[in-house]
Amino acid sequence: MDRRTFLAATGVAGVAAATLTTLPAMAETQAGVVRSLDELQAAIAAATPGTVITVADGTYQVTAPIAITGKRGTCDEPIVVRAESVGGVVLTGDQSFVLSASSDVTISGFAFRGQTSTFDVPPDCKRIRLTRNDFQLADVEGLYWVMLRGDYTEFDHNEIHDKSKLGIFVGIEGAGTDQMAVGVHLHHNYFRDHSFPGDNGGEPIRLGVSPRALSTAAAVVELNLFERCNGDPEAISVKSSGNTVRHNTFRDSMGGIVLRHGNGTRIEGNYLLSGQNGIRIYGNDHLIVNNYVEKISNAGVVLGSGSVRDHYPGEPSKSRTGNDAPDRVRIALNTVLDCESGIVGESHRTLPPLDCAVTDNLLVADSGELVNMPFQDGITWSGNIHWGQGTDGNAPGVAFTRVDPRLAPGTDGVRRLTSGSPAINAASRAYPEVPRDLDGDHRTGRAADVGADEYSPRRPAYRPLTPVDVGPHAR
């Protein structure tokens, strides 16, 4: 999806009020409780580092921008604009906050309704935090609801939901036409119910666009929940470099994780459950590790093919939008269960993967093929375990052992290794770059255990997320 429409709107609040107690302690200058938009604008104009402006609960129709211009808090004393209670302030109308030339500002606890332009954090802003807000903007064709373009933006504990038209929930870009914002952090958000019936253009998160693919964003997208995200096959669409996508949960969604453009991203410890698409990979030097992929109606993991070998600075735009054949991608220590197919490749583009490795993954299914890789020459295989009635496909004989891994479901439904599993300490190589498993347990013993789980009797530190774990009212 490369359309760049910046539009955004209305809806019903539907957010229960709760006292906002989760902002970090700071040396505050209380601006008092403001009860009108004029009072709010005056309080913002007077704000200095450490000022906390509280907006009284109620519904406010915003017909002109609430300007936050040239306001600079500090890392230790941000300027905070917050609702009296989480979700207790509903902003309707065509506008809401408009930021420019500001830093260290937090906006917290609002329900955004009725806005018909994108909520934008521009490149001249840094360290803006949007936390514990509820976004349901206008269901307008082509509307991007939130765009994060400032360095070190934090977008956390928000809920963004109920869109049926073309347009993304959250985009991350940067200055100019080819740069990415650096250090954006998205965590503990709840993305749900995007029902756009097309097959492109409804991503919950789009992390870059093709002209920015080689820009290193160093974004971290973690601990977010995606449910019924059916607006695009790509729930997280990565089109930039050097990112980390970890410990997210996807349930009952068309969308999966797609490394569409860019290099050097780490996909780790995600749960993809009962959806249509798993993990799909293009580009170079990615690490796909510790992921748990179960009951995906298409392939669990797809190692793509290419229409171009590598993207490069100054590349013609037509070439830049092509699929970059994967080089030096490692797919390791993942668990893929009961998918239509396990780990597969593509043959409809001519350039194969090169110098890639598929090692120590656990593949189990009672139907379909566990492996279907049309290009074999560029792939190293070792240590994988296959089980079930699903066929081995065209996996080389040296690539796997067929043995029962002895899995059992936990209270969270995740199937993990049990005592005596042949997967324990069975990895074919060392993984110093992967010190922990899917659950957060240390990888121990003479070798790692095959698959995403390192056997342990301890309670997992990570598990599939549910709605109580994310969004405005989560801890």
Q: Which range among 26-40, 47-61, 178-192, 207-221 shows the weakest confidence by mean pLDDT? A: 26-40
Question: What φ, ψ does residue 170 adopt, rounded to 5°?
Answer: -135, 125
Strands 234-239 and 205-208: parallel
pLDDT digits (tens, 9 = 90+) for 346-387: 999 999 999 999 999 999 999 999 999 999 999 999 999 999
pLDDT of residue 19: 36
> Is there a contact between 383 and 356 (Cβ–Cβ < 8 Å)?
no
What is the overall mean pLDDT for the chain? 93
pLDDT of residue 388: 98
The answer to the question of residue 187 being in a domain is yes
Give the integer Cα–Cα distance in Å for 458 and 105: 40
The answer to the question of residue 69 being in a domain is no
HSE-CB of 73 using CA atoms within 13 angstroms: 27
Helical ranges in 32-84 per DSSP H = 37-46
Q: Kindly state the percentage of the chain with pLDDT values over 70.
A: 94
Give the integer Cα–Cα distance in Å for 204 and 298: 20
> Is there a contact between 182 and 158 (Cβ–Cβ < 8 Å)?
no
Give the integer Cα–Cα distance in Å for 418 and 410: 10
pLDDT of residue 318: 86
Place of tokens 């059916």: 230
* pLDDT-derived band at 5, boundaries 50, 70, 90: very low
In the chain, what's the furthest Cα-to-Cα distance? 72
The answer to the question of residue 378 being in a domain is yes
21 burial via Cβ count (<10 Å: 0-12, 13-18, 19+): exposed
The answer to the question of residue 189 being in a domain is yes
Strand partners, 381: 358
Query: Cα angle vertex 381, ends 378, 384, to 5°?
Result: 150
* pLDDT-derived band at 445, boundaries 50, 70, 90: confident
Q: What pTM value is reported for the model?
A: 0.94
The range of the structural domain enclosing residue 163 comes to 145-469
The answer to the question of residue 206 being in a domain is yes
User: What is the DSSP secondary structure assignment for residue 473, as one 8-state letter?
Assistant: T
pLDDT of residue 39: 98
Give the integer Cα–Cα distance in Å for 28 and 79: 9
The answer to the question of residue 7 being in a domain is no
Give the integer Cα–Cα distance in Å for 411 and 219: 32
CATH number at residue 394: 2.160.20.10
Closest CA to 324 of 298, 358, 287, 352: 352
The number of domains in the chain is: 1
pLDDT of residue 72: 98
Give the DSSP per-residue string, 440-458. Answer: S-B--SSSPPSSSPPP-SS
Q: Which range among 22-36, 279-293, 431-445 shows the weakest confidence by mean pLDDT? A: 22-36
Give the integer Cα–Cα distance in Å for 73 and 81: 12
pLDDT of residue 437: 98
The answer to the question of residue 10 being in a domain is no
pLDDT digits (tens, 9 = 90+) for 9-52: 323 333 333 334 345 444 456 767 999 999 999 999 999 999 99
Strands 18-19 and 279-281: unpaired
pLDDT of residue 122: 98
Place of tokens 């609002």: 110
pLDDT of residue 28: 53
The answer on pLDDT for 198 being more than 90 is no
Cα 133 vs. chain centroid, distance in angstroms?
Answer: 18
Closest CA to 133 of 15, 40, 39, 54: 15
Spatial neighbors of 258 by CB under 8 A, at least 6 apart, are 233, 234, 236, 237, 238, 277, 279, 280, 281
Give the integer Cα–Cα distance in Å for 124 and 128: 11
pLDDT digits (tens, 9 = 90+) for 120-165: 999 999 999 999 999 999 999 999 999 999 999 999 999 999 999 9
pLDDT digits (tens, 9 = 90+) for 65-102: 999 999 999 999 999 999 999 999 999 999 999 999 99
pLDDT of residue 452: 98
> Using CA atoms in the order 25, 30, 32, 36, what is the torsion angle rounded to 10 degrees?
-80
pLDDT of residue 60: 98
The answer to the question of residue 282 being in a domain is yes
> Is there a contact between 279 and 301 (Cβ–Cβ < 8 Å)?
yes
pLDDT of residue 88: 98
Give the integer Cα–Cα distance in Å for 392 and 371: 6
